[in-house]
Chains A and B, each alone.
Chain A
Amino acid sequence: MAEQTVFTPLPGTFYRRATPDSPPFVEVGAQVTSDTVIGLIEVMKQFSELTAGVAGTVSAFLVEDGDPVEPGQIVATLDCQ
């Protein structure tokens, strides 16, 4: 199994859920497709969806919900076949 990384192209704040009361978009272990939304990046009050980019299984999140991120920073890793 090859490991792929999901990185953010944008700086801002990373969120794993749509609202503070929502469940996370995906949990570790979830199967995702390239279009699956795994989080949001808030930059200057605008929200952009972050998608997995490839199909696979979420193996880890490297950024906590609500943490600041820099462009190019790895947010999550996926196991891909």
Chain B
Amino acid sequence: MSQAIKKLLVANRGEIAVRIIRAAKALGIPTVAACSEADVDSMAARLADEVQVLGPARADRSYLNTQALLDALQASGANAVHPGYGFLSENADFADAVQAAGAIWVGPSGQTIRRMGDKAEARRTAQEAGVPVVPGSPGELQDVQAALAAAESVGYPLLIKASAGGGGRGIRLAQNAQELAEEFPRAQREAQAAFGNGGVYLERFIRQARHIEVQVLGDGQHAVHLFERECSLQRRRQKIFEEAPSPVLNPAQREALCGSAVRLTEALGYKGAGTLEYLFDDVSGEFFFIEMNTRIQVEHPISEMITGIDLVQAMLRIAGGEPLGLKQSDIVLQGAALEMRLNAEDPARDFFPSPGLVEQLSWPQGEGVRVDSHLFAGYRVPPYYDSLLAKLIVHGSDRNQALARAREAVAATILTGMVTTLPLHAELLEQPWLQSAAFNTGTLETWLAERRSGEK
């Protein structure tokens, strides 16, 4: 039945590989860093007990190369794989292949990953568990009459979305029935021309949506939540600044939201750490499930800071067959935490990447400050991968104290050798709308655009 982890292969790089190695060390588990040729001198490779080189720098020949990873697993004698985030972390076939090789996959089963990776299936699963989803038409609609009928229950304003679209493409807005009647045939023609498939459906448009997500942990039978994270500050769907808990939920909303996440997690028989993403409607107070990420997330530390629970250690314990060992009543919300992502990008040049050599480096210190990073002085940040350099994480007894510590942490950080987003965070922390938490998913991009035009 349960099979303990004897040696762990870390199938990732950067700060998350370092984070996983630290968690394994704390549990006395030896580690293997599986890395590309470009990362043999990385922090993860230095901290791990062993290194297995996967292949050339390019991700498709190293971190995304499933055969190279399975070979490294066998060569190292490791009996478990932690995939981190990104790369193969939500690749159901790889999860299955690891298990077929007789090793432990630190995460939910391939079947669960597949189920929640299919948008329609995830939506159906959520509805069956009594979790609200964004109101929409049951499927594709053939003509204007069908659309007008479906709109009665969806509600206005609504979006006409192309089934074959994605990433924000193939979407039209209708404020009322008249606009829907006009826009619907256009949307069909546009979808046919753009995607070769004229199928369209309707979805409620939430004007002032916040992106709020719930951290869950499950052992296959029982599940708990670690409260929510507010991740509304995004640029091109990339999060930049996150906080926990959300500053706008009242206790009843929090209980309803987090409770719904636990219901869905238990309905799935979910094993490991996961995140359920929701849209929260600031105006009506309603929340709607959008999708589940079946892996650890970049911003997990803020959930750890407000609960005192080490999520990565919990993942390893659960994967090794231990029961959750936590009741919901054991998990108490303590204070507030913020995370600022430090990226090798130049905000003045539309966030163009700026890899380079770390010359001077000094991280902030003090009470309530945590830095998750793979940098060290003399390290050359390679140009082949994500631009995330570090996560500055602060905790305070309340949000105001956390904000004050965030300002101090940003001011105390010294990182030279490349352009980073550090000055942007200093500026963000001074914005009244950030201090009062008056933002939604569109706020950061609007602010960045105004800031650009103000400079000209």
Give A residues with C-beta under 8 Å from B.
10-13, 42-46, 66, 68
Is there contact, CB below 8 Å, between A44 and B58?
A: no
B344, B352, B384, B387 interface centre (most CB from chain A within 10 Å)? B384
Partner of A12, one of B56, B384, B386: B384
User: How distant is the Cα of A48 from the Cα of B38 in the complex, in angstroms?
Assistant: 21
The residues in B between 372 and 413 inclusive whose CB is less than 8 angstroms from any CB of A are 383-387
Q: A13-B58, A44-B344 in contact; A68/B353 too (CB < 8 A)?
A: no
User: How distant is the Cα of A4 from the Cα of B421 in the complex, in angstroms?
Assistant: 37
Is there contact, CB below 8 Å, between A44 and B57?
A: no
Is there contact, CB below 8 Å, between A13 and B384?
A: yes
Partner of A44, one of B38, B56, B383: B383
**Cβ–Cβ < 8 Å partners of B384 in chain A:** 12-13, 42, 44, 68
Question: Across the two chains, which residue of chain A brings its CB closest to B356?
Answer: A11
Is there contact, CB below 8 Å, between A68 and B352?
A: no
B355: Cβ under 8 A from any A Cβ: yes
The residues in B between 407 and 454 inclusive whose CB is less than 8 angstroms from any CB of A are none
Tell me, rounded to whole Å, the shortest Cβ–Cβ distance linking A17 to chain B: 14
Question: Across the two chains, which residue of chain A brings its CB closest to B380?
Answer: A11
Question: Across the two chains, which residue of chain B brings its CB closest to A44?
Answer: B353
Is there contact, CB below 8 Å, between B383 and A10?
A: yes
Q: Mark B42-65, 1 if CB is under 8 A from A, else 0.
A: 000000000000001110000000
Q: How many residues of B contact A (CB 8 A)?
A: 14
Q: Closest 6 A-B residue pairs measured CB to CB?
A: A44-B353, A11-B383, A44-B387, A12-B383, A43-B383, A43-B353
Tell me, rounded to whole Å, the shortest Cβ–Cβ distance linking B384 to chain A: 6
Question: Across the two chains, which residue of chain B brings its CB closest to A71?
Answer: B383
Give B residues with C-beta under 8 Å from A.
38, 56-58, 344-345, 352-353, 355, 383-387
User: How distant is the Cα of A1 from the Cα of B433 in the complex, in angstroms?
Assistant: 61
Question: Across the two chains, which residue of chain B brings its CB closest to A69?
Answer: B383
By secondary structure, the B interface counts as loop
Tell me, rounded to whole Å, the shortest Cβ–Cβ distance linking B337 to chain A: 27
User: How distant is the Cα of A40 from the Cα of B12 in the complex, in angstroms?
Assistant: 26
Is there contact, CB below 8 Å, between B386 and A11?
A: no
User: How distant is the Cα of A30 from the Cα of B255 in the complex, in angstroms?
Assistant: 65
**Cβ–Cβ < 8 Å partners of B56 in chain A:** 68
- A-B CB contact pairs (8 Å), 5 listed: A44-B344, A44-B353, A44-B355, A44-B387, A68-B56
User: How distant is the Cα of A43 from the Cα of B354 in the complex, in angstroms?
Assistant: 8
**Cβ–Cβ < 8 Å partners of A43 in chain B:** 353, 355, 383
User: How distant is the Cα of A17 from the Cα of B108 in the complex, in angstroms?
Assistant: 37
User: How distant is the Cα of A46 from the Cα of B57 in the complex, in angstroms?
Assistant: 16
Is there contact, CB below 8 Å, between B355 and A68?
A: no
Tell me, rounded to whole Å, the shortest Cβ–Cβ distance linking B303 to chain A: 26
B58, B344, B385, B386 interface centre (most CB from chain A within 10 Å)? B58
User: How distant is the Cα of A2 from the Cα of B345 in the complex, in angstroms?
Assistant: 38
User: How distant is the Cα of A46 from the Cα of B344 in the complex, in angstroms?
Assistant: 12
User: How distant is the Cα of A66 from the Cα of B57 in the complex, in angstroms?
Assistant: 10
**Cβ–Cβ < 8 Å partners of A44 in chain B:** 344-345, 353, 355, 383-387
User: How distant is the Cα of A43 from the Cα of B57 in the complex, in angstroms?
Assistant: 12
Tell me, rounded to whole Å, the shortest Cβ–Cβ distance linking A69 to chain B: 9
Q: A11-B383, A13-B384, A43-B383 in contact; A66/B58 too (CB < 8 A)?
A: yes
**Cβ–Cβ < 8 Å partners of B386 in chain A:** 44-45
**Cβ–Cβ < 8 Å partners of B58 in chain A:** 13, 66, 68
**Cβ–Cβ < 8 Å partners of A68 in chain B:** 38, 56-58, 384
Tell me, rounded to whole Å, the shortest Cβ–Cβ distance linking A64 to chain B: 12
User: How distant is the Cα of A12 from the Cα of B385 in the complex, in angstroms?
Assistant: 9
**Cβ–Cβ < 8 Å partners of A45 in chain B:** 353, 385-387
Tell me, rounded to whole Å, the shortest Cβ–Cβ distance linking A38 to chain B: 19
**Cβ–Cβ < 8 Å partners of B385 in chain A:** 44-45
Tell me, rounded to whole Å, the shortest Cβ–Cβ distance linking B60 to chain A: 9
User: How distant is the Cα of A10 from the Cα of B56 in the complex, in angstroms?
Assistant: 19
User: How distant is the Cα of A45 from the Cα of B57 in the complex, in angstroms?
Assistant: 13
User: How distant is the Cα of A28 from the Cα of B89 in the complex, in angstroms?
Assistant: 40
Is there contact, CB below 8 Å, between B355 and A11?
A: yes
Tell me, rounded to whole Å, the shortest Cβ–Cβ distance linking A40 to chain B: 13
Tell me, rounded to whole Å, the shortest Cβ–Cβ distance linking B324 to chain A: 36
User: How distant is the Cα of A44 from the Cα of B381 in the complex, in angstroms?
Assistant: 10
Tell me, rounded to whole Å, the shortest Cβ–Cβ distance linking B171 to chain A: 24
Question: Across the two chains, which residue of chain B brings its CB closest to A12?
Answer: B383
Tell me, rounded to whole Å, the shortest Cβ–Cβ distance linking A47 to chain B: 11
Tell me, rounded to whole Å, the shortest Cβ–Cβ distance linking B363 to chain A: 22
Tell me, rounded to whole Å, the shortest Cβ–Cβ distance linking B63 to chain A: 13
